[in-house]
Every structure is written in structure tokens, then in C-alpha cells.
């Protein structure tokens, strides 16, 4: 694959989708990319599912020790955690402008639908998260045999370049920043399951949090996750009220496999990377904190309203 990529006069950020079909295709397409990076003295990080990481490690042999392998089923269980990991990798390895390479596979067959949606947002936000002058080459594999066609089509909107073992070309559907903004502004769907809806103001916040806690406990959520949910909802509510919201809408679903809670208000945000900045910059960003304890966090902002949806699996 890498031999087909055009040479560049200087290094800069490259974000490409790699469509593959079967183990041999995966290894054949990505192994030269890794070898070239090692030969050039570049840092290389491979973030994928364990099985495919093992394919590459076995093919690399002793050189596998030169590569930083990450189990993305752990790191990327909540897709919003992936960008901070890439940015911290770059800060550690490319802080002085040293080139680095990465392989990141956030979407794999078997992802829950809501996780897949967040992975698609994640891929579009990667085009904004990394400085275009950063000498970082990121390749995102897509399983052409098992992923749905709409997922593959979305890859062409979030990646400037599309590659296969035998081809390398620009994506005519690439949407750039406007596509990321459209995904960030998309409305979150209503969910199945018992719904509790509360209109919350500052004086009634304590009573609302007590109701959330009781409803979460009644939904067979583990006690540690009940505490996490209550704490995150409290922090989110305090933050939104401190930012000028006069009233919040808190919606809680008892779904079959999770308890899901929305905190919505009438204050918007222009920060598409909210909750995804590295921990060194996050400070007291409550959405960043939510991402550390929740199984999934979805943020949408449109027409002066912001919704933060948190998921905790049963």
C-alpha cells in the first residue's frame, strides 16, 4: 500500500482509510507501512482489535517490539477516548516535529449501533483534532467483507484519501470540517425502554438527582455504576447551570442492556472536540470526566441547544 502513496516534499498530517478483505489483505496492505516507519526511525502505534494486532505482530517478528500496540476494544470501548490517546501519543513522540505513524481501527463488525455512530463522528473529528502541519500519517482500516455498505460510504466522507492493497486515490465525497459539524449537530434518537423525564432548575437539582439515583438503581444497574451516573449527572447539571442555563431537561431510559441519561439545555457549544482534549488540557471539563467513567458519551449541539447523553451498561 505505501509504495502507491505519492512522495511528499515535506511531512504533514495524512488521514487515510484502508479498505481490506481478509487477513492476507490486511497484513499485506499494512506491513510495508509499519516497516517503512520503523526504517525511518518513526514512532508507530497500532490501535486495533487484539486479533488483528496479533496478525501484524506475528508478521513483524522481532520488529514488533518497535511498535506500540493498543487494544482498541479496551481503549475505544467509548470512542471519545481515542482522540486524546492519539494526541498524547503525538505529544510524547512528535512534540519536536518528529514524524510518527499510526494505524487506528475504531469500527469493527459487532459494534453496537450507537457506538458505530460515535465512531463515525470520531473519524470526522480526527480531521480537526490534529494540526495539519503535524508530521503524522494515520491509516484507518475498514473491513470490506463484514462492515455495512453505509459504514464504508461514511469512511469516504471522513477520510481525504482511500486506499486498498492495489490503489490509492482521493475521496470525492470527503466532507472535511462541514461534515464534522453536520454530524455534531445531528439529533440524537429517542430510545426504547421506560422513560423518565424531568425539568430541572437550580432549586430543584437535589431532588432531581435523588430521582435519577433511585431510577438507576431500580433499573438493575450495579451500585458502582449508579454512583457514577449520579455523579456525572450532578457535574453536568452544575456545569450547564453555571454556564447560564436556566432550566435543564433530564431524560432517563431504562433500556434492556443499559441505563441511558440525557442532560439537555439551551446553551450551545462551538467546541466540536469538547470532552476529547488530552487530559493535560482538559482541566475540569466535565464531559472529559464523563468519558472516563461512562461506557459511551454522546454530545450534540445545534441551534443553541446542547445534549449530553451518557450510557452505562448493565
Tens digits of residue pLDDT in 277-303: 876 654 568 999 999 999 999 999 998
Which residue in the block uniquely carries the three cell numbers 454556564? 243
Q: What's the number of domains the chain is made of?
A: 2
Look up the CATH number of the domain holding residue 218: 3.30.565.10
Which residue in the block uniquely carries the three cell numbers 453536568? 236
Residue 65 and residue 173 in one domain: yes
d(CA 201, CA 81): 31
Q: What is the pLDDT of residue 11?
A: 78
pLDDT-flagged residues of the chain (< 70): 1-10, 94-96, 279-284
Residue 95 and residue 121 in one domain: yes
Residue 147 sits at φ, ψ, to 5 deg, of -80, 150
Q: What is the pLDDT of residue 6?
A: 54
Residue 124 and residue 86 in one domain: yes
Question: pLDDT of 233-287, one tens digit each?
Answer: 999 999 999 988 999 999 999 988 999 999 999 988 989 999 998 766 545 689 9
- In the chain, the N- to C-terminal Cα span, in Å, equals 42
d(CA 186, CA 184): 6
Write down which residue in 151, 185, 219 finishes a domain. Answer: 185
pTM attached to this predicted model? 0.93
Residue 283 and residue 303 in one domain: yes
* Domain limits for position 13: 2-185
Residue 16 and residue 146 in one domain: yes
Amino acid at each position: 500500500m505505501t509504495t502507491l502513496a505519492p512522495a511528499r516534499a515535506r511531512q504533514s498530517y495524512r488521514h487515510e482509510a484502508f479498505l481490506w478483505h481478509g487477513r492476507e489483505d490486511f497484513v499485506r496492505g499494512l506491513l510495508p507501512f509499519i516497516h517503512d516507519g520503523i526504517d525511518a526511525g518513526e514512532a508507530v502505534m497500532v490501535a486495533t482489535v487484539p486479533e488483528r494486532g496479533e496478525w501484524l505482530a506475528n508478521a513483524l517478528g522481532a520488529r514488533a517490539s518497535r511498535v506500540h500496540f493498543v487494544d482498541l476494544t479496551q481503549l475505544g470501548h467509548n470512542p471519545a477516548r481515542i482522540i486524546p490517546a492519539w494526541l498524547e501519543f503525538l505529544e510524547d513522540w512528535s512534540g519536536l516535529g518528529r514524524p510518527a505513524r499510526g494505524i487506528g481501527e475504531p469500527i469493527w463488525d459487532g459494534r453496537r449501533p450507537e457506538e458505530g455512530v460515535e465512531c463515525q463522528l470520531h473519524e470526522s473529528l480526527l480531521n480537526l483534532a490534529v494540526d495539519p502541519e503535524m508530521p503524522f500519517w494515520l491509516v484507518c482500516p475498514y473491513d470490506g467483507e463484514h462492515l455495512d455498505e453505509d459504514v464504508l460510504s461514511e469512511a469516504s466522507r471522513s477520510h481525504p484519501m482511500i486506499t486498498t492493497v492495489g490503489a490509492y486515490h482521493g475521496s470525492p465525497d470527503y466532507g472535511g470540517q462541514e461534515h464534522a459539524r453536520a454530524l455534531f449537530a445531528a439529533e440524537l434518537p429517542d430510545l426504547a425502554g421506560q422513560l423518565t423525564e424531568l425539568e430541572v432548575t437550580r432549586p430543584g437539582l437535589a431532588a432531581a438527582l435523588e430521582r435519577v439515583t433511585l431510577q438507576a438503581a431500580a433499573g438493575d444497574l450495579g451500585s458502582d455504576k449508579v454512583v457514577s451516573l449520579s455523579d456525572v449527572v450532578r457535574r453536568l447539571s452544575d456545569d450547564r447551570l453555571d454556564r447560564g442555563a436556566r432550566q435543564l431537561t433530564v431524560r432517563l431510559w431504562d433500556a434492556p442492556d443499559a441505563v441511558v441519561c440525557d442532560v439537555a439545555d439551551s446553551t450551545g457549544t462551538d467546541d466540536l472536540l469538547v470532552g476529547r482534549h488530552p487530559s493535560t488540557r482538559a482541566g475540569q471539563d466535565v464531559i472529559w470526566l464523563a468519558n472516563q467513567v461512562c461506557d459511551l458519551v454522546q454530545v450534540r449541539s445545534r441551534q443553541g441547544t446542547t445534549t449530553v447523553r451518557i450510557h452505562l451498561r448493565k
